[in-house]
């Protein structure tokens, strides 16, 4: 049974847009800075919840990813969608859910075992944020700050102003035009609304924090696999994606313990967390069978 002794937060290297600046000291290259590069891909992406669920519902874990994608295209699972639309969906699907084989298999199991839509949507949102540095930064650096200050409303103009600042700071993959910046801001807000992080049609507001226990346990297992410190797991900035404080995280761990999704013990500064499975794929079966 894997154990993590839970103590600085972690921010994983996202699949997209990570540039490492280096400087030379003598004969050695020294990592000086990690720079996040934001792309405008969100314009074409969105949440894609229905399309993603369709793909995962038809995914065969016994086949390789290329074989699955080829078969799904052949079988025309998207019905009358245009070829360009299908290509856009598959490109985003690869970026978000195909970079780690264990994640792909786990997600397929959750869909096949009929995990509740709200829990599945939160998990898909989490992986989407891991794969898209702009989406991740918008929530963890902007919306989480809004939440901590008791501010709930965010307008397109607010986000557009921030994006222009990031462009001027060289944080984007290209110099975005005024139109592109506007479309990226609109795409971010509509995507986060579809993921349930925001609510509202014209004026977007922060939705009340919500993370079903099954989704919490899945994400905790995934984050634990990236590092072994229990304290760091509780303090991880990844929980900012759900506007969770360490106190919120601890409360969810205790609730998950009560429902036998994991074991959580705290004694002073030592925190021990264990899971009933060794792999994310196996754990997906556990949480879908015990979903609360």
For the stretch 193-249, pLDDT in tens is 999 999 998 889 999 999 999 999 999 999 998 877 888 899 999 999 999 999 999
- Count the residues in the chain: 292
In DSSP notation, 99-129 reads: SSHHHHHHHHHHHHTT--HHHHHHHHHHHHH
CATH second-level architecture of 3-13+210-289? Orthogonal Bundle (1.10)
Report pLDDT for 36: 67
Q: How far is CA 88 from CA 48, 66, 192, 196, in A?
A: 10, 16, 19, 22
- CB neighbour list of residue 2: distance below 8 Å, 6 or more residues apart: 224, 274, 275, 277, 278
Provide the β-strand partners of residue 271: 266
* Residues of the chain where predicted confidence (pLDDT) is lower than 50: 1-15, 18-34
| pLDDT for the residue numbered 136 | 97
Asked if residues 209 and 114 have their Cβ atoms less than 8 Å apart, the reply is: no
Beta-carbon contacts of 93 under 8 Å, excluding residues fewer than 6 positions away, are 48, 51, 52, 55
């Amino acid at each position: 049974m894997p154990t993590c002794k839970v103590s600085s937060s972690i921010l994983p290297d996202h699949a997209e847009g990570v540039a490492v600046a280096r400087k030379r000291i003598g004969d050695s290259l020294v990592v000086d800075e990690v720079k996040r590069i934001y792309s405008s891909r969100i314009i074409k992406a969105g949440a894609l919840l229905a399309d993603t669920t369709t793909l995962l519902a038809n995914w065969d874990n016994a086949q390789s990813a290329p074989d699955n994608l080829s078969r799904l295209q052949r079988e025309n699972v998207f019905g009358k969608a245009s070829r360009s639309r299908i290509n856009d969906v598959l490109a985003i699907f690869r970026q978000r859910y195909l970079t780690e084989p264990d994640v792909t298999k786990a997600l397929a199991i959750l869909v096949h075992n009929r995990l509740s839509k709200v829990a599945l949507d939160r998990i898909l949102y989490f992986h989407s944020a891991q794969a898209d540095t702009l989406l991740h930064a918008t929530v963890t650096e902007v919306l989480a700050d809004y939440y901590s200050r008791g501010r709930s409303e965010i307008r397109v103009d607010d986000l557009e102003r921030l994006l222009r600042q990031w462009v001027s700071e060289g944080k984007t993959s290209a110099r975005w035009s005024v139109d592109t910046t506007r479309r990226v801001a609109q795409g971010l807000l509509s995507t986060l609304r579809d993921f349930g992080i925001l609510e509202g049609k014209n004026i977007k507001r922060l939705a009340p924090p919500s993370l079903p226990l099954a989704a919490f346990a899945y994400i905790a297992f995934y984050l634990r696999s990236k590092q072994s410190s229990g304290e760091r797991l509780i303090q991880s900035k990844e929980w900012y994606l759900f506007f969770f404080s360490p106190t919120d995280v601890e409360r969810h761990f205790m609730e998950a313990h009560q429902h036998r999704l994991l074991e959580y013990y705290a004694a002073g500064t030592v925190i021990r967390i264990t899971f009933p499975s060794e792999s994310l794929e196996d754990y997906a079966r556990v949480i879908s069978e015990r979903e609360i």
